[in-house]
Amino acid sequence: LKERIKIETLLNENKSKAYIAKTLNRSRSTISREINKWIQDPNDKYAAELAHWNAKDDYLNKRNLDKISTYKPLKYYVYKGLLKGWTPEQICGSLKLKYPNNNIMSISHEAIYRHIYTRPQASLNKKLIKLLVRKKTRRRPIKKVRGKGSKIINQVSIDKRPKHIELRQEIGHWEGDLIIGKGQKSAIGTIVERKSRYTLIVKLKSRKADEVAKMFSKKINQLNKLFRKSMTYDNGIEMAKHQIITQKTGMKIYFAHPYSSWERGTNENTNGIIRRDFPKGTDFNLIDEKQLLKLEHKLNNKPRKIIGYKTPKEVLE
């Protein structure tokens, strides 16, 4: 572990592999193999503790049966994704795009979660859990609801959403959700534009469908009509009055598949950013409109790497 900490420190100082090998009195090929496992492009990061526990886990558990442990290229891709702050859903989606015809480099987000939580008290697994957004030490199984269809009538599935929306080449297509407050007794709405990442934060008095439809419509109507084309939402019952939003704003609303948060990945990621200012346990009844507008302004005027270091406001305008 001490040597790996030295490797991490020297990499952060932009030292070469040759310099690191000489400093540690190791062969250059040994250092190269260790670093290349984790760093293949400029955005990758070497984390000494995770690398150490991963190597120790490999040594002690050579008969692991799960796919991530069996195939090292898949394992390093998943671990590096977690180091970048990606969710298992985002890692799964990225693999599908990057390796469309490679069965080895294919895995479901549930399989990634199972790998992380198989031995939650093991040292490596504790490190992996800390890389997750919610960092829960235990994962509750998804409850299956039988015999109950959706309570939202006249839903239009994301399957019927025009394919060009997926390309993010056109401004005006949004993703929506709620962030729930303390004790499930308060909430705010979030609406994020897919191409520009421009964010709207909606003050809500309750999570009832009438209130959500009223306040979402009011916020959306502040936008230029050219920017009000579509919104993709999850299956939350708060969107039961989606037809009212469409009538008032002209915006078409599509619904993602159940338990498919990656279909609204931009919104999910933005909610995570908002949680930095309003962490879990926040009572949104105590947060006023001025505070929400201040955060909204900060998000929309902050340069984002994914849009070429422009701000969402600059891209939208």
Q: Please write the tens of the pLDDT for every residue from 147-179.
A: 454 578 999 999 999 999 999 999 999 999 999
Cα dihedral across residues 9, 15, 16, 20: positive or negative: negative
Confidence of residue 116 (pLDDT cuts 50, 70, 90): confident
Is 6 a domain residue? no
DSSP string, 89-142: HHHHHHHHHH-TT-STT---HHHHHHHHHSSTTSHHHHHHHHTSSS--SS-PPP
Instruction: Based on the fold, state whether residues 91 and 165 are members of the same structural domain.
Output: no
Is 292 a domain residue? yes
| Domain boundary, last residue among 115, 130, 145 | 130
As for how many domains the chain has, the answer is 2
Lowest-confidence pick of 120-134, 162-176, 177-191, 260-274: 120-134
Q: What is the pTM assigned to this prediction?
A: 0.56
pLDDT, tens only, 73-83: 898 899 988 88
Instruction: Give Dmax (Cα) for the chain.
Output: 71
Is 75 a domain residue? yes
Lowest-confidence pick of 29-43, 88-102, 121-135, 244-258: 121-135
- List, in order, residues 6 or more apart from 312 with CB less than 8 Å away: 193, 196, 197, 198, 199, 299, 300, 301, 302, 304
Confidence of residue 72 (pLDDT cuts 50, 70, 90): confident
Mean per-residue pLDDT, 286-297: 95
% of the chain at pLDDT higher than 70: 93
Residue 192 β-bridge partners: 175, 199
pLDDT, tens only, 124-148: 778 888 888 777 777 666 555 444 5
Range(s) of the domain holding residue 183: 158-316
- Tell me the two tokens of residue 179: 């962030």
Mean per-residue pLDDT, 251-267: 92
- The position carrying tokens 């939650």 is 120
Report the alpha-carbon distance of residue 233 to residue 157 in Å, rounded.
Answer: 10
Cβ neighbours around 197 below 10 Å, total: 24
Is 295 a domain residue? yes
Instruction: Based on the fold, state whether residues 119 and 187 are members of the same structural domain.
Output: no
Instruction: Based on the fold, state whether residues 108 and 164 are members of the same structural domain.
Output: no
Q: Please report how many Cα atoms fall inside a 13 Å half-sphere around the Cα of residue 77, on the Cβ side.
A: 21
Closest residue by Cα to residue 237 from 194, 184, 283, 193: 184
Instruction: Based on the fold, state whether residues 193 and 241 are members of the same structural domain.
Output: yes
| Domain boundary, last residue among 110, 130, 150 | 130
pLDDT of 146 reads: 47
> What is the overall mean pLDDT for the chain?
88
Mean per-residue pLDDT, 260-276: 93
CATH of the domain at 197: 3.30.420.10
Report the alpha-carbon distance of residue 53 to residue 268 in Å, rounded.
Answer: 30
Instruction: Based on the fold, state whether residues 57 and 195 are members of the same structural domain.
Output: no
pLDDT, tens only, 6-63: 999 999 999 999 999 999 999 999 999 888 888 888 788 888 888 888 777 765 555 5
Q: 273 with 298: CB under 8 angstroms?
A: no
Mean per-residue pLDDT, 225-243: 94
String of b and e for 168-190 (b: at least 16 CB within 10 Å)?
beebbbbbbbbbbbeeeebbbbb
Instruction: Based on the fold, state whether residues 214 and 75 are members of the same structural domain.
Output: no
